[in-house]
């Protein structure tokens, strides 16, 4: 999948917001300010300088954040401006502090809990920050006609609705088609389809969910999501041998009524 820059942009904006209100330390509240700013700021020039696929992925992620804020009735510009004054009654300064403030323990904890392997990591950042923000942010959302609970539910609901993996289907199908072409080349000595996938996903970990979703991560980055819609066609897409191994662990997940995680190299 093309890389989205949304998470890095959110963290950069977090630091900028903290510097403009002369914060002594980076806090989860500043992350909320950064995310509120991310959906409002004009990124046209920035997006023109990165590959089209990455620009598209970044816009898609920011659009997801916008939809979440809208679903929770958060007017991003107004909430952000008022929250700045709650965090510092003097408001934003024309002369921001030099250098980024040091991170607080709470800020560090939010960053550590953020799942940057998530398909939409900035949403994971939002969920983690909401669980650790101060009363200032809680009160500001409430006074602005929303609540932290409403926003968190909107974010988590968006993740559930959109984590189907269907966007990966073209890639999965293309590997199967390329393998079929390879097999038909005289003297090509094509590897079995299962072995092709093992090599593609080597050193990764696969999480098998009870609905049949397969999520493969390597060094905290998602490298494949196999949607539940194709769980009955694993043999077709992944080869007989690999699909039989996946099916065994899928049955284990069903029995446990919980996800199962195993190294790809053990399949």
What is the domain partition of the chain in residue ranges?
Answer: 6-162, 166-266
Query: pLDDT per residue over 182-206, tens digit each?
Result: 999 998 889 999 999 999 999 999 9
Give me the CATH topology for the region 6-162. Double Clp-N motif (1.10.1780)
Statement: the pTM of the whole predicted model exceeds 0.75: no
Give the rounded percent of residues in the chain with a pLDDT score beyond 90.
68
Whether the CB-CB separation of 265 and 202 falls below 8 Å is answered with yes
User: Which of 36-45, 127-136, 217-226, 255-264 comes out lowest in average pLDDT?
Assistant: 217-226
Residue 161 has a pLDDT of 64
Rounded mean pLDDT of the chain? 90
Q: What is the pLDDT of residues 64-123, one digit of tens each?
A: 999 999 999 999 999 999 999 999 998 788 888 888 999 999 999 999 988 776 668 899
What pLDDT is stored for residue 150 in this prediction?
A: 92
Q: Which long-range contacts (CB under 8 A, 24 or more apart) does 238-247 make?
A: 238/193, 238/194, 238/197, 239/192, 239/193, 239/194, 239/195, 239/196, 239/197, 240/194, 241/192, 241/194, 242/193, 242/194, 242/197, 242/198, 242/267, 243/194, 246/206, 246/208, 246/214
């Amino acid at each position: 999948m093309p890389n989205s820059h949304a998470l890095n942009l959110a963290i950069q904006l977090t630091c900028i917001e903290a510097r403009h209100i002369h914060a002594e330390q980076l806090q989860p509240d500043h992350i909320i300010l950064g995310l509120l700013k991310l959906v409002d700021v004009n990124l046209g020039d920035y997006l023109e300088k990165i590959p089209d696929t990455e620009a598209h992925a970044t816009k898609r992620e920011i659009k997801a954040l916008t939809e979440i804020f809208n679903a929770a009735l958060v007017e991003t510009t107004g909430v952000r401006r008022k929250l700045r004054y709650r965090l510092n009654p003097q408001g934003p300064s024309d002369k921001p502090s030099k250098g980024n403030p040091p991170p607080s323990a709470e800020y560090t904890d939010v960053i550590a809990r953020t799942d940057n392997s998530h398909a939409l990591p900035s949403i994971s950042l939002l969920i983690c920050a909401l669980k650790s923000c101060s009363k200032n942010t809680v009160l500001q959302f409430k006074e602005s006609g929303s609540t932290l609970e409403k926003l968190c539910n909107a974010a988590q609901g968006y993740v559930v609705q959109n984590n189907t993996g269907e966007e990966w289907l073209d890639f999965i199908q293309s590997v199967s088609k390329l393998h079929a072409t390879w097999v038909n080349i005289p003297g090509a000595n094509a590897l079995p389809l299962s072995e092709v996938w093992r090599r593609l996903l080597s050193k990764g970990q696969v999480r098998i969910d009870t609905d049949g979703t397969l999520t493969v991560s390597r060094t905290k980055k998602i490298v494949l999501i196999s949607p539940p819609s194709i769980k009955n066609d694993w043999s077709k897409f992944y080869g007989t041998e690999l699909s039989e191994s996946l099916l065994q662990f899928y049955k284990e997940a069903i029995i446990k009524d919980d996800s199962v995680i195993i190294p790809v190299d053990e399949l």
